[in-house]
Chains A and B, each alone.
Chain A
Amino acid sequence: MSSQHRDDILSLRGVTKRFGGLTAVDNVSFEVPTGEVFALIGPNGAGKTTLFNCITGMFVPTAGQVVFKGKDISGTKPHRTAQLGIARTFQNIRLFEYMTALDNVKVGCHVRMHAKLWDALFKTPFAKREEAEVRDRAMEYLRFVGIDNRAESYARNLAYGQQRRLEIARALATQPRLLLLDEPAAGFTPQEKVELMQLVAKIIDQGITVFLIEHDMKVVMEISQLIVVLDHGEKIAEGPPAEVRANQRVIEAYLGKSA
């Protein structure tokens, strides 16, 4: 393996997640190199989102380790993993619907803020300064994803594509080192997909590693440097796009075994 001389931001070591008798993720190991776009693909029910949940601490893996920046974080609570620098979006958009877009992003900033209860209660100069900073920063993230004109709209009133973007802005506001995107292009028009790919490129430029689950092969093949394929919870292939595309097991998993 090349992992010795490669700089990996995240490595999974034999991660397994069982729900009762069902094994959703079965002994999966791979490394996500720093600063690249890494993709996780696989048919429906392959265990991709479960794996995301194991990484972000929403599930505790039944076995195995999740190592982030050289530290074992398996079983860490979600808010701690966010603090450590892992942010995510959700497959079914989960915004704070009845909060404004700006406030959604401000919640993302929460984890990098330091105002204590005391500061909040008495509106100390420190809290005021921090609030002003956070407002500016949140606006910047909205601008970054291109929806700053909707800052004061409720999240639920945004168009579908804008909601997806807002979710990314909110995740970026936690200032992550690793950004997990769960099917960011789902339901997008071809034009929106192109814009999404541009956005991902911009995120990579910020030095943030992007790890995405995606169904759209065109998007995956175009933007990712490395791909891991899951099927029935098991890793069946790993490698650069061209290699994965030619892999017999991958073709079988997606199209079924030809007789």
Chain B
Amino acid sequence: MRRLQALVRENARNPNAIAYAAMAIGALAFPGIVQFASGGNADNLVSLAADGGVFVLLAIGLNVVVGFAGLLDLGYAAFFAIGAYTYGMLASQQLISSPLHHALHIPFWIALFIGLFIAAGAGALLGAPTLRLRGDYLAIVTLGFGEIVPRFFRNMKDWTSGVNGISALDAPSLPVWITGPWVNTDFGWVTNFKFQSFNSTAWYVLIVVLVAASVIGVNNLYRSRLGRAWMAVREDETAAAAMGVNTVNTKLLAFAIGASFSGFAGAFYGAKLSLVSPDNFTFIVSITVLSMVVLGGMGNIPGAMVGGLLLYFVLYYFLPAAPQQAQTLAQSLGLDWLNNAAPNGWPGIGEFISRLKFILFGLILVSIMLLRPQGLLPSRLRTQELRRGVHDEPVEQVS
């Protein structure tokens, strides 16, 4: 108990610790709260939150590449695609129609790690030709990679069904699972549990576990010898090399480890959707994830997570629901006429808002960046960088 008190006292002013605590509590309480509030009809919300977790994973991974190692990657969706397609090919009937003539059906839990290693390998492969590039030049090459990979999957018709994508992916299964009021039964065990699309709570739990494991892993890396080497390379590559940091390996590891998280995310995403299609991995996905990282606070893990959650909420919940909400609002304010299309060209408030969606999205992005250029939850570094005028900071005592 005393240790807990000490822990709380020590971290009460640390925004990162607060963010972690808030996210952990929020993640645990979320399904209960929404189910309770909606009288048990919030499965779609829980499922949406599970998809949001995928983007949080992606943001964590991209943060390693962009935030820690300072390598601007505009093609991150490529690794997401590689993870998803790996799972798609390994865990469906797909390969029967391929030159292999044999379906694989590798269990999800193993395929998850195969996806991870293949994405990591692809990361290193992309990293290799870009080692001499920095900044803008690197960004362009990664952009190209991000365009090539989905096209590659689309054109490999024999293996991936081309534009149709791979469907009917195997669902993960577990020997035992807990049931309870959230699926309208009493508490109890089920054996031979299968993650089906209606088991949104199960998917949610799975992604929370994946995210938690990733956060622990990436936090450990950040505070390790490798994390310091990443930052040293970001700050000054020449000096880092002179201090004995193997910059080639360090950068390749950044690409590989960053990519491995999207391998994770891709496998989960494919399994949950039970479909992998080349349209799911367009350039806009790369940009969205990059915006999440920048918006949340580059180089800071909880920052990237918060950015991921927020942007996901805006893009996939707030904006799609906005027209409907506006209509309801107009109605309750007694402004019914707003809802109806008028001959003067007024399309009705719902349609109006729906047409403004991307302007709204842009406005939200711009206002956040104007109000908090360092990101919502910046690393100490970014705060400093943007406060160039300040010459010194209080010296913290080293214990």
Contact = CB atoms under 8 A, between A and B. Distances in A.
Interface of A: 56, 58, 77-79, 82-83, 87-88, 90, 94-99, 102-103, 106-108, 110-111, 113, 115, 117, 119-123, 127, 130-131, 134, 139, 148-154, 156-157, 170-171, 173-174
A134 B239 CA distance: 19
Contacts of B229: 107, 110
Most buried by B among A102, A134, A154: A154
Nearest to A105: B243
6 contacts: A58-B238, A58-B241, A83-B244, A98-B385, A115-B224, A127-B225
A171 B381 CA distance: 23
Given A123-B220, A157-B393, A117 B236 contact: no
B220 A121 contact: yes
B395 A82 contact: no
B252 to A, nearest CB: 12
Interface string B217-248: 10011011111110110011011111111110
Given A139-B398, A152-B398, A157-B391, A170 B220 contact: no
Q: Is the interface of A mostly helix, strand, loop or mixed?
A: helix
Given A95-B239, A96-B239, A157-B392, A107 B384 contact: no
Contact of A79 (B227, B236, B247, B384): B247
Contacts of B253: 117
B396 interface: yes
B374 to A, nearest CB: 13
A153 B393 contact: yes
Which of B225, B239, B245, B246 has its CB near the most chain A CB atoms (within 10 A)? B225
Given A120-B220, A121-B217, A111 B242 contact: no
B238 A115 contact: no
A82 B221 contact: no
Contacts of A98: 231, 235, 381, 384-385
B378 to A, nearest CB: 12
- The winner among B227, B232, B395 for most chain A CB atoms within 10 A is B232
Given A157-B391, A157-B392, A115 B242 contact: no
A107 B241 CA distance: 10
A20 B397 CA distance: 52
Given A151-B398, A152-B396, A120 B231 contact: no
A110 B245 contact: yes
A96 B217 contact: no
B254 to A, nearest CB: 12
A96 B235 contact: yes
A149 B395 contact: yes
A217 to B, nearest CB: 27
B224 A77 contact: no
Given A110-B225, A115-B225, A78 B241 contact: yes
Contacts of B247: 79
Contacts of A108: 243-244
Nearest to B224: A120
A153 to B, nearest CB: 6
Sorted from nearest, which 9 A-B pairs have the closest CB atoms?
A111-B244, A82-B244, A120-B224, A96-B235, A78-B241, A94-B239, A152-B396, A98-B381, A107-B232
Contacts of B221: 120-121
A152 B224 contact: no
A79 B235 contact: no
Contacts of A174: 243-244
A157 B390 CA distance: 9
Given A56-B242, A107-B229, A120-B225, 9 more contacts: A58-B242, A79-B244, A82-B242, A111-B244, A111-B245, A127-B224, A131-B225, A151-B398, A152-B395
A94 B236 contact: yes
A201 B74 CA distance: 51
Contacts of B224: 115, 119-120, 123, 127, 131
B385 A110 contact: no
Interface in B89-122: none
A120 B245 CA distance: 16
Contacts of A107: 228-229, 232, 240, 243, 245
B398 A82 contact: no
Nearest to B223: A131
A226 to B, nearest CB: 24
Nearest to B398: A151
A99 B225 contact: no
A153 B392 contact: yes
B389 to A, nearest CB: 12
A102 B238 contact: no
Contacts of B239: 90, 94-96
Contacts of B231: 96, 98-99, 103
B236 A96 contact: yes
Contacts of B228: 99, 103, 106-107, 110
Contacts of B236: 94-97
